[in-house]
Structure 1
Amino acid sequence: MEQASILTYLAVVAMMVLTPGPNLAVILQSVAARGWRGGFGNLFGIAAAFYFHALCSVIGLTLVLRQAPALFTAVKALGAAYLIYLGAMNLRMAWRAAGRESAAAPTAAATHSTKGALFEGFMTNALNPKVGLFYLAIFPQYIDPNESVYAKSLLLVTIHASFAFGWYALLIVGFDRYRRRMGTSKSMVVAARLVIATVLIGLGLKVLIT
């Protein structure tokens, strides 16, 4: 890939990654619940889902979704329902935290346990068909007919996944530090949970109506 093409592709990927969306919301709720380990568990799942979408695009599954409106809508609905479910879970945790004498940061067990975080991250990204359609639209512009489609697609998705991993990793570390600082304040913990729940539910509803 020529240098100019790399820079152009990076610019497109950067705009996609830096725009707040379901992946960021899921990571923030996971850090709030489990600490940085949960956030990185999500992140590895999200990265794996990028490769899943790339594979689907290359073998044509995404094209099938694009040409089958009912199936596309069903996948969107599943993704939206999952986001709303995560939002509801945060509302429940906010309610529980509000009823405690102290809503300090997550317990040691919750902080160190990342069970389900990898699955959460993967499902959130995998159930977003727009990612696959993005690859379907963008990959042909950077793949020469004489090149290996699989090898070039692997390079392109790796660039995307690497940029996303670096950006989200910075956010995870930063948000975890913030979480630790405000951990002794019950009102701050409850407020953070409510904000995250609102964002997740709002994103889920937005996915449903767009």
Structure 2
Amino acid sequence: MYGLAMHPYLLPLLAFAATAAIFTITPGLDTAMTLRTATTAGWKAGLAAVLGICLGLAVWGLGAAFGLTALLAASETAFTAVKWAGALYLGWMGVKLLLHPRSSLAHEQEEAAAEQPTNRPEAGVAFRRGLLSNLLNPKVGVFYMTFMPQFIPPHVNVQEFSLLLTAIQAVLSFAWLGLLVALTIPLGRFLSSPVVVRRMDRLTGGVFLLFSLKLALARRV
């Protein structure tokens, strides 16, 4: 798409990929839903849930891509208001995760269990649940709207670059959650370990704080 002109943008792409990878492998509702679907309904239903989850991410990213165009072209006052709202939100989340990391995935597992009855769902049902779990989660939208602008270089087509970042996020999510489906039992036990959950939460909290500071210092181009 960008040809040789894409090389100056390799660093922000790699930075986004690294950050997105951290959030992707951090245990959460998507992880719990994928593991539970695969263990209770088989790998086909688990993979269908993963496809639904990734489609939900793509829809949010699509909305953010077109919304970011208006955001970056808005007034200085609007930009400043959104910037500080995002910085404060990320800072609050970062401090919360650092000071009060989870010790288990109990809450996410309860939510996933509430969405999935004990019967073995068909692939279509699992797909719909995975899709809705993301479409109805405003935190996904917050992720795109607060993180994407920090990785978009000046003088690029904002919509196209945002869609590229969205594609990276979707591919990473599909690869990771697909791996969970393939290795459900051993990885499920590992990711449910209190030590792993606490460390991943603290790692995520640290990243939140770093980008909160970066966002607070950002200036409108």
* Same topology, TM > 0.5: yes
Give the aligned partner of residue 74 of structure 2: none
Aligned partners of 1:31 and 1:176 also within 8 Å:
no
Cross-structure match for 2:159: 150
Q: Which residue of 1 aligns with 2:88?
A: none
- Which residue does 2:128 correspond to in 1? 119
- The offset of 1:178, in angstroms, is 9.0
2:15–2:151 Cα contact (<8 Å) kept? no
Query: Alpha carbons of 1:117 and 1:11: their partners in 2 closer, same or farther (altered >3 Å)?
Result: same
Matched residue type, 2:39: A
Secondary structure at 1:166 match in 2: helix
Instruction: Decide whether the 8 Å contact of 1:35 with 1:176 is kept in 2.
Output: no
1:39 aligns with 2:50: no
AA in 2 matched with 1:174: L
Displacement after TM superposition at 1:140 (Å): 1.5
1:5 matched to 2:12? The reply is yes
Cα offset, 1:177, TM superposition? 8.7
Aligned residues between the structures: 149
Distance in 1 separating the partners of 2:187 and 2:155: 50
Distance verdict in 2 for CA 1:50–1:171, change over 3 Å = same
TM-score (norm 1): 0.60
Distance in 2, Cα, partners of 1:12 & 1:3: 14
Q: 2:182 matched to 1:173? A: yes
Taking a change above 3 Å as real, the CA distance of residues 178 and 48 of structure 1, as seen in their structure-2 partners, is closer
Q: Hey, what's the Cα distance between the residues in 2 that align with 1:16 and 1:178?
A: 17
CA contact (8 A) 1:23 1:46 kept: yes
Residue 184 of structure 1 is matched in structure 2 by: none
Structure 1: state its 5+ residue gaps.
68-81, 94-105, 180-191, 196-210
Per the alignment, do residues 178 and 159 of structure 1 end up closer, same or farther by CA in structure 2, a change over 3 Å counting?
closer
Q: Partners in 2 of 1:13 and 1:148 — Cα distance? A: 21
User: TM-score by structure 2 length?
Assistant: 0.57
Q: Residue 24 in 1 paired to residue 50 in 2?
A: no
Residues 20-57 of structure 1: CA deviation (Å, up to 9, x unaligned): 01101111121122200011101111111111111222
1:55 aligns with 2:62: yes
**Deviation at 1:133?**
1.1
- Distance in 2 between residues matched to 1:45 and 1:25, nearest whole Å: 14
> Contact 2:34 / 2:46 at 8 angstroms: preserved in 1?
yes
> Does the CA-based 8 Å contact 2:62-2:166 persist in structure 1?
no
Calculate percent identity across the aligned residue pairs: 31
